[in-house]
Structure 1
């Protein structure tokens, strides 16, 4: 596909996303219906779509509308090349610009639009991040780096680096996590590398690795990852613990990847259905990485930023409070309960923990981790609570 044809495909996918289809599903559907497209075409298309979605509001101002076509026009006006060399360039390129589309457009001056956030969300973002609110919002417009977690029970970080380098995947050690490597070149080769296939490394953001390293873990402890999803943190805990870790998710389908990932890493993860969790309790440590807005990871999932509404946030808050209260019943006396989200919003973090502590005697907070999204990691927050 030509560069112009890739942009035309991006317009089609973006129109699908604007109509309500999640971005990953829209990209998968496009790939299945365009079998001729090579891996390079699919990668370029994905980059175009996500570049637009990260900055959807400001690009809409530059492009004169919120259609896929207008957003791609805004992207070209921001990053180049000249739209006139793309639109109407023949072949499978987008149709030529209309006279109205060639009119001069200006970047937004509204603060929320400059931050590429909905108006209702901008005050919440400011309240959470203070003087750095605009800086950190605009950081979310950049592509996210790829981080790997090294299974230190199987290989050293330096040896993992050497193994990856032998397959042209270059990395550098992360400054804040002993298990983390940042991929600096050829991230798309990681999944086919020997280090990955042999279970020596896993893809995991540095913020999650920092959080797992912060948890007090001793050999022989019984640990439950209560909202396990794909099991990334359960696997990291198992590597630290050198023993089994239990995992649960309200939707068992989300845990489908845990078994093959655990087998590859040589870890023991015992998955629990909802009806089995209480019978397996109590645990020394329960980790709740609760469902949330994902506001600390929006550079990775930018369409989630535009799907979030005040009503959805309220529903998430109710769910988060319920999860924390339930997880507390699974923690032994003297045990620890870690409540975490990949959100930076106070409504999903401090407010939930404060409400829990005010309504549950015998619990106290013993640690708190606050990570704003930076070039070195995603946004992440965690409170560690102790049961007396």
Structure 2
């Protein structure tokens, strides 16, 4: 594909997204219909699409329209690229610029790439300066992190083996097991270290949360909202635990047995109706469903799909999860509540809400990770149950 043909493909995919299709669904559909597109073509088109979804407001303003064509025009102008030589209508290129499209919009620094109602939530949660910094950070691609499986390799050994496959990494201060990928990220999933369980894809803040849990050998630990099991596997590598993974959406855990086998980890998977018969746990981790605002660089459509009603619904879900999980904690045990959110209503306000309804519980640790630390935005609060 020519560079111009890649732009036209991105335009068509963005139109589907604007009509309501999920980003990954639209990209996958295009790839299946476009067998002629090579891996570099698919990667380039994907980058065009995700860049425009991250910066939908600002690209639409620079491109003159909130359409696939307008977003790509805005993206080119944002990057200082003249679109005219690419918009020719020849060989699958986008149609030539109309008279109105020749007019260059002046960048408006007041535009933020968030829905208007969300910008208010960001400012009230983070303060004006930090909210502005976070919004700018969310316009960029997230770095790719790896977690070194310390039961199989040291950080230095993992780096050496990765480098043999063309994957260059450097340690990241967010966690002792964290590597940030500088080159070769597209080769990771087919690399020997990944397939052999030496490394897992996992954000640095997500790794840091597990390191902050004070896991000790012999503890009974429940990952209550395990999702794909990233934190489950990180906990398995941190200490010798009696480890149980659960998720209300059971299909999210379908790959965990194979991943655990690859990592050399022992994990029991529990269905919701099994939990009460399993007794209580020393530690229950709840990485609760949330807005995802701290990880919108990776999943940018989330910020455009979120509505005030859904945001309120998520807070009620978080409260119900905490209430249910608290019943599974031993007297004196710990309930660890985490979100990948930057927003106070999902974080400290949710903790206050829990404490108001659960006398005797106390907070013994809280931490917030921000985007300017190089990781996703995460929040952690560790709540201690009253003694028997």
CA distance in 1, matches of 2:344, 2:67: 33
Between stretches 340-349 and 368-377, larger displacement belongs to: 368-377
- Look up the match of 1:47: 47
Q: Which runs of 5+ in 1 are unaligned?
A: none
CA distance in 2, matches of 1:368, 1:243: 23
Displacement of 1:95 in angstroms is 0.8
Q: 1:197 aligns with which of 195, 198, 213?
A: 195
- 252-261 or 238-247, larger mean C-alpha shift: 238-247
CA contact (8 A) 1:208 1:233 kept: yes
CA contact (8 A) 2:174 2:205 kept: no
Task: Select which of 249, 261, 264 maps to 2:262.
Answer: 264
Closer, same or farther: CA 261–176 of 1 in aligned 2, 3 Å? same
| TM-score of the pair, normalised by structure 2 | 0.97
Distance in 1 (CA, whole Å) between partners of 2:32 and 2:381 is 43
1:373, distance to aligned residue in structure 2 (A):
1.2
Judged with a 3 Å threshold, the aligned counterparts in structure 2 of structure 1 residues 375 and 59 are, in CA distance, closer, same or farther, namely farther
Q: How does 1:168-183 map to 2 (within 5 A)?
A: 168-183=166-181
> Quick check: 1:243–1:267 contact (8 Å CA) kept in 2?
no
Aligned to 1:253: 251
Offset from partner CA, 1:69-103 (integer Å, 9 cap, x none): 10001001111421101111510101111112222
Answer yes or no: is 1:185 the counterpart of 2:183. Answer: yes
Q: In 1, are the aligned partners of 2:174 and 2:375 still within 8 Å (CA)?
A: no
- Residue equivalent to 2:348: 350
The answer to whether the 8 A contact 2:296-2:302 is kept is yes
Residue number in structure 1 paired with 2:117: 120
Give the distance between the partners of 1:59 and 1:377, measured in 2 at CA: 25
Give runs of aligned pairs for residues 273-352 of structure 1, distance below 5 A.
Answer: 273-352=271-350
Contact 1:292 1:348 in 2 (8 A): yes
Q: Distance in 2 between matches of 1:364 and 1:160?
A: 40
Question: After superposition, what is the alpha-carbon deviation per residue over 1:242-264, rounded to whole angstroms, capped at 9, x for unaligned?
Answer: 24410111111111111111011
Q: Match for residue 13 of structure 2?
A: 13
Q: CA deviation at 1:29?
A: 1.1
Contact persistence 1:4–1:89 (CA under 8 A)? no
Q: What is the aligned residue count?
A: 385
1:118-176 CA-to-partner distances (Å, cap 9, x unmatched) read 11111110122212211121011111110000010111000000000111110001123
Alpha-carbon offset, residue 269 of structure 1 = 1.3
2:218 alignment counterpart = 220
Q: What is the CA-CA distance between 1:362 and the residue it aligns to? A: 1.4
Q: Who is 1:156 aligned against?
A: 154
- Contact 1:244–1:267 (CA<8 Å) still a contact in 2? no
Deviations 1:334-371 (A, max 9, x none): 10000110000001111111010011011000000111
Write the distance in 2 (CA, Å) between the matches of 1:93 and 1:47.
Answer: 17
Post-superposition shift, 1:105? 1.3
User: Relative to structure 1, is the Cα distance of residues 375 and 73 closer, same or farther in structure 2, using a 3 angstrom cutoff?
Assistant: farther
- Where structure 2 has 5 or more consecutive residues not aligned to the other structure, the ranges are none
Map 1:24-39; keep pairs closer than 5 Å.
24-39=24-39
Check whether the contact 2:246–2:270 (CA below 8 A) recurs between aligned residues: yes
Question: Structure 1 residue 8: deviation in Å?
Answer: 0.5
Aligned partners of 1:210 and 1:102: how far apart in 2? Answer: 49
CA distance in 1, matches of 2:98, 2:90: 15
Calculate the aligned-residue CA RMSD, in Å: 1.0
Moved more, 283-292 or 375-384: 375-384
Query: Take 2:365 and 2:290, find their aligned partners in 1: how far apart are those partners?
Result: 21
Question: Greater CA deviation, 8-17 or 77-86?
Answer: 77-86
What TM-score, normalized by structure 1, do the two folds share? 0.97
Give CA-to-partner distance per residue, 1:306-334, whole Å, 9 cap, x none.
11111110110110110011000111101
The answer on whether the counterparts of 2:223 and 2:246 sit within 8 Å (CA) in structure 1 is yes
C-alpha separation between the residues in 1 aligned to 2:241 and 2:173?
27
